[in-house]
Amino acid sequence: MNIKPLALASLLLASISHYTIADNTVISESNAQVVSSEQESTEQRIQRLSYVAQNQAESAEARVDALHELSQYPNQNALVAVTRALKDSNPDVREAAIVGAKPYQFEYRWKLVSPLLSDGEESVQIAATINLLPDYSTMAEEQQQAIDKIYPTVTAYLERQSGKRSQLLLGDVYRWQLQWQKAEQQYLALIDDPELTTQASLSLSDNYRAQSNDKQALNVLNQAIERDDSSAQLQYAKALTLVRMENKSEAASAIEKATELAPENSYYWYLNGVLQEP
């Protein structure tokens, strides 16, 4: 199977870790309509992006860009645009709509995206699977069975990819499907790569967390912080791990460092306030 670069980009966007702040949404320079002005309010931006996403007169590229951006602004207008785009005749638009559906709660997202598990385009099936797979451990049995049917196709595709990000995604796919050992091996093969060490460490730590091995998860994060002491994401993950280990004082220290490294992140400040309470 030969998936187009646009489709692969959608797969990677759909799989961004929950530790990662989305700050690199790709917007084509030719699509000036999708690029917002500084004066545009958030609500105006959502309305404009929703209009572009649904407008059949727009190019597929412009609609794809708009749907990708809408993943950052979940609201009723965006949801209407995403819902309609999931039924679009263009597979690129359907894949982009899967990305746009990412911020919604699983129960509702399943209703929206699961019909595409049997889409006529295999690339759309893969994108839908990757979108839903992170919730595999909490799915009902029939939902897991639906995922299991397409899962071998997803892993076979990613195993053929040489790109580092695709290999990191493969580790995530293994982890989400509860294949802990395969996921661990995948992350360890990538963890020394300077471009991937932080994300691979976060994912490996999460792999141990999912197995209730917080001690090993903390070891991974501490080693990653030794490599990169400028990552707020690592400090945040460390704080959460220490909270689970009931070590509030060290957790408070870690989240305070996260706020220093990323002072614009309001959630870090909120958690910092909670942990600093006596």
Query: Tens of pLDDT along 169-208?
Result: 999 999 999 999 999 999 999 999 999 999 999 999 999 9
Distance from C-alpha of 105 to C-alpha of 54, rounded to nearest angstrom: 22
Query: Tens of pLDDT along 221-264?
Result: 999 999 999 999 999 999 999 999 999 999 999 999 999 999 99
Distance from C-alpha of 186 to C-alpha of 167, rounded to nearest angstrom: 7
Sequence-distant (6+) residues with CB within 8 A of 193 are 164, 200
pLDDT value at residue 18: 45
* Reported pTM: 0.83
pLDDT value at residue 33: 46
Q: What domains are defined for the chain? A: 1-159 (1.25.10)
| Lowest-confidence region among 2-6, 106-110, 253-257 | 2-6
Query: Residue 116 has which token pair?
Result: 């595409």
Check if the beta carbon of residue 227 is closer than 8 Å to that of residue 45: no
Nearest by Cα to 51 from 70, 38, 37, 32? 70
Local structure of 140: helix, strand or coil: coil
